[in-house]
Copies of this chain bind each other. A is one copy, B any other.
Amino acid sequence: MPTSSDYERMLREAELRVTSPRIAVLSAVHDHPHADTESIFGVVRESLGAVSHQAVYDVLKALTNAGLVRRIQPQGSVARYETRVGDNHHHVVCRSCEAIADIDCAVGHAPCLTASDDHGFTIDEAEVVYWGLCPDCSTAQRN
């Protein structure tokens, strides 16, 4: 479990100024993977007391640009964030309750990056979203 100074170091390494909102957001995203902006805002406000809504948006954008967090947004969902970056993993999303879980790359590395016909596009990433039912909803539906 990373400490506050770990986050501080990460920010400096990304050439971002170290501020309490940033540390709090980074920590909140780390502790609540796949949380949406509102939840993160809630967690941050608990640890810091007062932060503006806007600051959380700005910080999330800055951290995303710096590559410290990754933004995901399955269809029908609001933006969600996670700190697991740079390993090209994917997600399963429950159609019923919106639960999200991580899935490691199925086909080894750079999955599916070999598109059959790329229409001249220069492809640099393949994003995979698996859709289905989580264990709970899956059970509930059978009964």
Interface of A with B (CB < 8 Å)? 71-73, 75, 90, 92, 94, 101-107, 111-135, 138
Contacts and interface: CB of A to CB of B under 8 A. Distances in A.
A109 to B, nearest CB: 12
A115 B104 CA distance: 7
B132 A122 contact: yes
25 contacts: A92-B115, A92-B118, A92-B119, A92-B123, A94-B121, A101-B119, A103-B117, A103-B118, A106-B112, A106-B115, A106-B116, A107-B112, A112-B128, A121-B133, A121-B135, A122-B132, A122-B133, A123-B130, A123-B132, A125-B132, A126-B128, A126-B129, A127-B129, A127-B130, A128-B128
Contacts of A113: 130
Contact of A122 (B75, B125, B128, B138): B138
Max chain B CB contacts within 10 Å: which of A92, A121, A129? A121
Tallying the copies of this chain within the complex gives: 2
Contacts of A131: 123-127
Contacts of A133: 121-122, 124
A24 to B, nearest CB: 25
